[in-house]
């Protein structure tokens, strides 16, 4: 790894100026903004590949956004190229249809011949490997504010070609407190979680509220793609098993969470191919996945990705963890959502999904109204549970009528 300034960086990128290269950059809340800005000033046209890109990414003529998981920073872009893929399979794309020309990393300062990817491991190790294999260039922004984490986050210096030094405070999502509906859902979900369970929780207010309701549990384990402040609260409450490593692939949250992650020997940051492998997930005892959805239909299918015919997010890891949890000994897959969408003034339990299916065959569908048992109940029982336990009271008559018209209650 060789340190350069911005002018030297431009010289190394000059051979790419006449092309439209693919630039893979760390996503979520770990994007190296100083480095990405420097690259954006050099390349007139390129494909910017990122996961869950946040506001502030370059979005101009000449920049095409590629992603299998759409974030708020690119959701409204006219130049969005969505790539459907389960998160566990995304690393394979780098060797097939999305070969990187440039990979931009955000790392902690070197120690003992290594750097650390800190809060964002995810698919980046696979991107680095394929980029180097195909003659691309790997560039890092070295930031003293990046926590040092262990596991697959540690890269040898020889895996990085160039680096710039730039201190940049890590960004955090806007703090939010669960509303009364989310809190009620979180309590219901927590009631399904036993001591010694292994947890995976997705992104959103409901998973956050669930974590807040689990502080009284003991010997909980963590095998997840994402880690948030709720896990920090569990650790502070003594709810986590102190003898079992906490496994995640990326994290984001408050400065307090980043400080907790720094040099934490219990935290193992692993690459996506490991954390999201359904086979490995199934090996975790009492594996309990908790994910959100936008809609659930009477066939117990969940849509967590599309709104009004437009991609909103993507598969993410939801389908990976639902399958893995269902195959775990004592495992369960929970999808949790409010029963009513206040802005659209519509039920979220619907006869048939408006968009594509993200996941299906869950153990439970939980709303603030109740917990509807799904697998392994008979189909007619699933339907009745969804209508009479999970759905909002104002929607139940219409759902019963739709179920009868579709012949679902015979």
Sign, CA dihedral 340-55-317-96, equals positive
Whichever domain contains 130, its CATH number is 3.40.1080.10
Same domain, 228 and 161: no
Whichever domain contains 380, its CATH number is 3.40.1080.20
Q: What angle do CA 107, 281, 156 make, to 5 degrees?
A: 25
Same domain, 193 and 105: no
pLDDT of residue 266: 97
Average pLDDT, the chain: 96
Among residues 165, 197, 214, which one ends one of the domains?
Answer: 165
In the predicted structure, residue 318 carries a pLDDT above the cut 80: yes
In the predicted structure, residue 344 carries a pLDDT above the cut 90: no
In the predicted structure, residue 243 carries a pLDDT above the cut 90: yes
In the predicted structure, residue 202 carries a pLDDT above the cut 80: no
pLDDT of residue 36: 98
d(CA 67, CA 83): 6
Same domain, 132 and 217: no
In the predicted structure, residue 1 carries a pLDDT above the cut 80: yes
In the predicted structure, residue 263 carries a pLDDT above the cut 80: yes
Residue found by looking up tokens 């519509």 in the block = 346
d(CA 339, CA 337): 6
83-107: average pLDDT: 97
**Domain span at 261:** 180-405
pLDDT of residue 207: 84
pLDDT of residue 90: 97
Does a structural domain hold residue 186? yes
Helix H, strand E, coil C: the string for 307-339 is ECCEECCCCCCHHHHHHHHHHCCCCEEEEECCC
Same domain, 272 and 247: yes
pLDDT of residue 204: 77
Q: How confident is the model at residue 38 (pLDDT cuts 50, 70, 90)?
A: very high
Same domain, 161 and 196: no
d(CA 238, CA 97): 45
pLDDT of residue 52: 97
209-219: average pLDDT: 94
Same domain, 193 and 154: no
Same domain, 131 and 243: no
Same domain, 357 and 300: yes
pLDDT of residue 146: 98
Same domain, 139 and 105: yes
212-242 burial, b at 16+ Cβ within 10 Å, e below that, comes to bbbbebeebbbbbbbbbbbbbbbbeeebbbe
- Catalytic one among 182, 225, 273, 368? 225
Same domain, 145 and 184: no
CB 1 within 8 A of CB 110: yes
CB 214 within 8 A of CB 239: yes
* Residue % of the chain over a pLDDT of 70: 100
pLDDT of residue 409: 81
d(CA 287, CA 278): 11
Please indicate whether residue 225 is annotated as part of the active site.
yes
Q: Which residues contact 344 (CB under 8 A, 6 or more apart)?
A: none
In the predicted structure, residue 367 carries a pLDDT above the cut 90: yes
CB 303 within 8 A of CB 357: yes
CB 57 within 8 A of CB 65: yes
35-54: average pLDDT: 98
Domain count, the chain: 2
Among residues 120, 140, 165, which one ends one of the domains?
Answer: 165
Question: Tens of pLDDT along 149-162?
Answer: 999 999 999 999 99
In the predicted structure, residue 205 carries a pLDDT above the cut 90: no
For residue 284, give the nearest of 227, 222, 350 by alpha carbon: 222
Does a structural domain hold residue 172? no
Q: How confident is the model at residue 203 (pLDDT cuts 50, 70, 90)?
A: confident
Tokens of 366: 């939980």
Same domain, 215 and 160: no
């Amino acid at each position: 790894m060789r340190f350069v300034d911005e002018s030297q960086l431009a010289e190394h990128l000059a051979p790419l100026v006449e092309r439209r290269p693919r630039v893979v950059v760390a996503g979520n809340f770990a994007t190296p903004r100083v480095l990405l800005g420097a690259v954006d000033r050099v390349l007139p046209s390129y494909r910017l590949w990122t996961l869950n890109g946040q506001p502030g990414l370059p979005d101009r003529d000449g920049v095409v956004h590629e992603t299998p998981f759409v974030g708020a920073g690119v959701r409204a872009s006219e130049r969005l190229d969505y790539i459907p893929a389960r998160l566990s399979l995304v690393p394979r794309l780098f060797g097939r249809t999305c070969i990187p020309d440039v990979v931009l990393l955000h790392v902690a300062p070197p120690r003992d011949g290594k750097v650390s990817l800190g809060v964002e491991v995810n698919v980046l190790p696979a991107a680095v490997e394929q980029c180097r294999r195909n003659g691309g260039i790997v560039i890092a922004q070295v930031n003293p504010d990046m926590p040092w984490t262990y596991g697959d986050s540690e890269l040898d210096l020889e895996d990085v070609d160039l680096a710039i030094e730039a201190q940049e405070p890590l960004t955090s999502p806007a703090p939010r407190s669960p509303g009364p509906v989310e809190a009620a859902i979180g309590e219901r979900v927590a009631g399904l979680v036993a001591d010694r369970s292994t947890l995976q929780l997705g992104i959103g207010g409901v998973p956050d509220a669930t974590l807040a309701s689990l502080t009284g549990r003991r010997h909980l384990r963590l095998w997840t793609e994402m880690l948030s402040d709720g896990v920090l609260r569990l650790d502070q409450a003594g709810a986590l098993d102190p003898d079992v490593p906490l496994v995640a692939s990326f994290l984001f949250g408050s400065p307090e969470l980043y400080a907790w992650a720094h040099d934490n020997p219990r935290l193992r940051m692993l690459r996506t191919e490991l954390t999201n492998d359904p086979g490995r997930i199934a090996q975790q005892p009492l594996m309990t996945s908790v994910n959100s959805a936008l809609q659930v239909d009477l066939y117990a299918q969940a849509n967590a990705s599309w709104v009004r015919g437009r991609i909103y997010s993507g598969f993410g890891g939801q389908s990976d963890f639902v399958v893995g949890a269902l195959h775990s000994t004592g495992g369960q897959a929970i999808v949790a959502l409010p029963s009513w969408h206040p802005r659209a003034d519509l039920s979220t339990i619907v006869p048939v999904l408006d968009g594509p299916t993200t996941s299906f065959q869950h153990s439970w569908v939980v709303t603030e109204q109740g917990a509807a048992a799904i697998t392994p109940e008979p189909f007619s029982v699933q339907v009745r549970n969804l209508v009479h336990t999970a759905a909002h009271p104002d929607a139940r008559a219409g759902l019963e009528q739709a179920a009868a018209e579709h012949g679902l209650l015979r």
